[in-house]
Amino acid sequence: MSNEVLADYDIAQCKADAFYDQYDRKGELQHQTHYCPGCGHGNISKMLASAIDDLGIQDRTILINPVGCSVFGYYYFDVGNVQAAHGRAPAVATAVKRSRPHSIVVSYQGDGDLSAIGSAEILHAANRGENITAIFVNNATYSMTGGQAGPTTLIGQRSTTTPNGRSAANEGYPLRVSELLSTLAAPVYIERVGLGNNKQIAQAARAIRRAVENQVRGLGFSLIEILSPCPTIWKMTPVEAQHWVRDVMERTYPLGVFCDRTKEVEPRNVDLPKPALSEIPALLEIADTVQLAGEIPGVPSVVDLHIRVAGFGGQGVLLLGEVLAEAGLNAGLEVSWLPSYGPEMRSGTSNCHVRLSHSPIDSPMVSSPNVLIAMNEPSLRKFSATVRPGGWILYNGDAVPQECLQNDIHSLALPFTHLADELGDSRITNMLMLGALLEITGVLPQAHVDSALSSLVKSARFLSLDRSALQQGRSLYRERQKAMLLAE
């Protein structure tokens, strides 16, 4: 045969451009793959590489290489490569694709990887309809690790971990991944193909190309399951293995298209608008008003409040604390607010720690308060003994029981909930008590409390009820003081 004759021939089939000319990442024998003679991985890789070439997507392609014989895809594919943990390729692929929506992401997985340890990841990637292509190489065994059984191992098939053959009673039935995933609403294309003869091989190449093309078109999740020979682990010649795919495997895993929604689905728009960098602080609702400077009008020169607010869930314990902290901040004080948190959270009680101070707050935890607002009796009994000498107890009840009132503790006990009812809603009990506290301590000018309230309470009705409750709470304390003076 002469050069002249060959010059009349075009290349019909040759090594794809998507493969490296030489496999530099492979330690030795850099001109051939690490796959055993007759292994289906090589065929599947070639089909994938041809699809990448044909679709002109080599620069955009990112191959996910998870644990198993699949892992060395990065030796061969001249594309972007990410090696992944066992079974996690669909999760990795999900994020790669969402990070770079213009890339073409192929999750290339074996059956141990995909159907056993990675069963959750593939199920959910499929169910989310990730716009990725999953290549699922099913050879009914864990090959790289020496031939252990997997979920895909056939009934009766011997493996190193099913030495007497897989039994349904012990290991369950072979997992039909394609059928399983086809029950989901999201996948656009799922097909099982084989490498059992020429016809099957040609169909496998078409299916793989189609699965990649679906992604290029932005259609969504495609998975191609390939029944693939593993002559080494199956202890067969390559030709026998090919026949076994066709004559044995196929009986458990019928070939065919299980799901095809490619004609129904609309391509996705991946170019979503992104705001300018300068817009981000506002989008995050980060305030950009200027800090008030100078003297703080109406605030005493020394403030050091350690406040504990406690009651049952629904009494507005946390909101009371938040209004205090927000108002304190507005007034230029150092503040902290710490909600009851932990074992108590689910038991129906609620409490919070609030600190207001002129100096930086060391600990936000108020273990010995100088103000206790007890919105019910259990809270009073729980915390009354912790109140510092000279401190205050505000109690939502007719009177503080004597055993809860140590020497040097001031108290204001009123049936705040009944009074709140009279004002129109028992849910403003908290603001009545806050009003009384503000009057007692005199630390926060009303204007700051009002602005805190309006930033925290969105309902107009409650805002107005809360405001009047605050005023009413202040006057309740003043009236009591008057009454006490008169009594003296």
Partner 1 sequence: MRKQLMKGNDALMKSAILSGCRAFYGYPITPASEIVETAALYMPRIGGVFLQAESEVAAINMLYGAAAAGVRCMTASSGPGMSLMQEGMSYLAGAELPCVIADITRSGPGLGNIAAEQSDYNQVVKGGGHGNYRTIVLAPHSVQEMVDLTALAFELADRYRNPVVLLADGFIGQMMEPVEFPSEATEPYLPRWAVAGTAAARGNLINSLHLDCDEMEGHSRALEAKYRIADQREARAEEWRTDDAEIVLVGYGIVGRILKAVTAEARAEGIPVGVLRPITLYPFPSSKIRNLVNHARVFAAVEMSNGQMVDDVRLALNGARPVEFLGRGGGNVPSHEEVMRLVRELASNFLAPRARETEHVAHV
Partner 2 sequence: MADAENRDRGQLRLSEDECKGCGLCVEACAFKVISLSEGLNHYGYRTAMYAGAGCSGCGICFLACPEPGAITVLRLRGTAAAHGRGRVISIPGAA
The residues in 297-336 that bind partner 1, with binding defined as CB under 8 A, are 322, 325-326, 329, 334-336
Q: Which two tokens stand for residue 305?
A: 């409040």
Our finding on whether 16 is near partner 1 (CB under 8 A) is: no
The neighbour count for residue 318, using CB atoms within 10 Å, is 18
> Which one of partner 2, partner 1, none is in contact with 275 (Cβ closer than 5 to 8 A by kind)?
partner 1
**Structure-token match 């979920």, residue found:** 151
Question: How many whole angstroms separate alpha carbon 148 and alpha carbon 116?
Answer: 12
Our finding on whether 14 is near partner 2 (CB under 8 A) is: yes
> Which one of partner 1, partner 2, none is in contact with 183 (Cβ closer than 5 to 8 A by kind)?
none
Our finding on whether 137 is near partner 2 (CB under 8 A) is: no
Our finding on whether 364 is near partner 1 (CB under 8 A) is: yes
Our finding on whether 19 is near partner 2 (CB under 8 A) is: yes
Work out which of 11, 283, 302, 486 binds partner 1, going by CB under 8 A: 283
Question: How many whole angstroms separate alpha carbon 62 and alpha carbon 96?
Answer: 8
Residue closest to 224 by CA, chosen among 299, 114, 121: 114
Residue closest to 136 by CA, chosen among 185, 220, 233, 66: 66
Which residue stretch of 97-105, 151-159, 177-185, 370-378 sits at the interface with partner 1 (rule: CB under 8 A)? 97-105
Written as one letter, the residue type at 427 is R
Residue closest to 409 by CA, chosen among 429, 432, 426, 385: 385
> Which one of partner 1, partner 2, none is in contact with 343 (Cβ closer than 5 to 8 A by kind)?
partner 1
336 pairs with which residues across the strands? 355
Contact 128, 186 (CB under 8 A): yes
Work out which of 47, 51, 69, 82 binds partner 1, going by CB under 8 A: 82
Long-range contacts of 394-398 (CB under 8 A, 24+ apart): 394/433, 394/436, 394/437, 394/440, 396/311, 396/429, 396/433
Which residue stretch of 89-97, 142-150, 206-214, 260-268 sits at the interface with partner 1 (rule: CB under 8 A)? 89-97
> Which one of partner 1, partner 2, none is in contact with 347 (Cβ closer than 5 to 8 A by kind)?
none
Our finding on whether 181 is near partner 2 (CB under 8 A) is: no
Our finding on whether 25 is near partner 1 (CB under 8 A) is: yes
What is the full DSSP assignment across 327-350?
HHHHTT-EEEEEE--SGGGGTTEE
Residue closest to 190 by CA, chosen among 207, 202, 173: 207
Residue with Cβ nearer partner 1 (123 or 201): 123
* Total residues binding partner 2 (CB under 8 A): 46
Judged by CB under 8 A, the chain residues 208 through 247 that form the site for partner 2 are 231, 237-239, 242
In the complex, the smallest distance separating the C-beta of residue 282 from partner 1, rounded to whole angstroms, is 10
Work out which of 11, 169, 185, 272 binds partner 1, going by CB under 8 A: 272
Our finding on whether 1 is near partner 1 (CB under 8 A) is: no
Our finding on whether 280 is near partner 1 (CB under 8 A) is: yes
The neighbour count for residue 21, using CB atoms within 10 Å, is 10
Residue closest to 214 by CA, chosen among 324, 129, 120: 129
> Which one of partner 2, partner 1, none is in contact with 47 (Cβ closer than 5 to 8 A by kind)?
partner 2
Residue with Cβ nearer partner 2 (48 or 440): 48
Residues at the interface with partner 2 (CB under 8 A) = 1-3, 5-16, 19, 29, 31-33, 35-43, 45-47, 49-50, 53-54, 76, 198, 201-202, 205, 231, 237-239, 242
